[in-house]
Amino acid sequence: MVKLRADLTWHTPAEWAEAAISDFPLFLQEHANMERKASAQAMSFVVKYPDRNEIIPTMIEIAMEELEHFQQVYERMSAMGIPLMTDAPDPYINELIGLCRHGREERFVDRMIVASVVETRGAERFRLVSEALNDTEWKKFYRDLWASEARHGNVFVEMLLHYYDAETINERLDQMMSEEGRIAAALEWRPSLH
C-alpha cells in the first residue's frame, strides 16, 4: 500500500522557529520567493510532461493556489513596506534536486517526490512558525498555510499512482526521505523556511 505522503525522518526542533523569525521581514521575503517558485514549479510539470493528462488539472490547481499564497504574502509585505527580494539559490532545494536521477521516467518520479518532500517540510515549519508568533493574525495565516502545504505533500505522491505501482513509489520515497532528513538536519538556521 502506498503511503501517500512523505514521512519526515528528522523533525525540526521548535527552537528553529525563533531563529527563522528573528528577522521577520527577511523571512517574509524568503517565503514570498518560495511561494512564487512553487507556483512556477507546478506549471513546469505541465510544460515538461504535457502527455501526463491525469496530472495537468491538479498541477494547474496547485500552481494557482501557490500563486495565491504568493499574492497573500506580497500584499502583507507591501503593507509593511517590505520589498520583494532578488532570487537567490536555495541550498536545500539544490541538494534535493541533486538527488534526482536522469532519464525521463526516473526524473519525473524523483521531481514529483521532491515536490512532495518540500511541501511536507514546509508544512512542518509553517506549523512551528505559527506556534512561535505572538500576533493572532499572523498565527492564523501560517496555520492556514500549514494545512495547505500538508495537503500538497500528499497530492504529489497520489498523482504518481496514475503511472507507477505503490511499491516503486514507496521505495524511492523512503530513499529520498532518508536523504532529505540528512540535508535538513545540516541546514543553518536562518530567517528562511529552509
**Per residue of the chain (194 residues), what is the pLDDT tens digit?**
556 667 899 999 999 999 999 999 999 999 999 999 999 999 999 999 999 999 999 999 999 999 999 999 999 999 999 999 998 889 999 999 999 999 999 999 999 999 999 999 999 999 999 999 999 999 999 998 888 787 878 899 999 999 999 999 999 999 999 999 999 999 999 999 88
Residue position matching grid coordinates 505522491: 157
What is the greatest pairwise CA distance in the chain? 49
Residue position matching grid coordinates 528528522: 10
| pLDDT at position 131 | 95
| pLDDT at position 89 | 87
For the chain, give the DSSP string: ----SPPPSS---TTHHHHHTTTHHHHHHHHHHHHHHHHHHHHHHHHH-TT-TTTHHHHHHHHHHHHHHHHHHHHHHHHTTPPP------HHHHHHHHTPPSSHHHHHHHHHHHHHHHHHHHHHHHHHHHHH---HHHHHHHHHHHHHHHHHHHHHHHHHTTTS-HHHHHHHHHHHHHHHHHHHHHSPP-SS--
Cell numbers linked to 23: 528577522
Q: Can you give the pTM of this predicted structure?
A: 0.94
Sign of CA dihedral 40, 43, 45, 49: negative
C-alpha span between 69 and 181 (Å, rounded): 26
How far apart, in Å, are the Cα atoms of 4 and each of 56, 74, 141, 154, 186? Answer: 19, 31, 26, 5, 26
Let me know: does 58 contact 42? Beta carbons within 8 Å: no
| pLDDT at position 1 | 57
How far apart, in Å, are the Cα atoms of 191 and each of 9, 20, 29, 78, 187? Answer: 23, 4, 9, 18, 12
| pLDDT at position 49 | 95
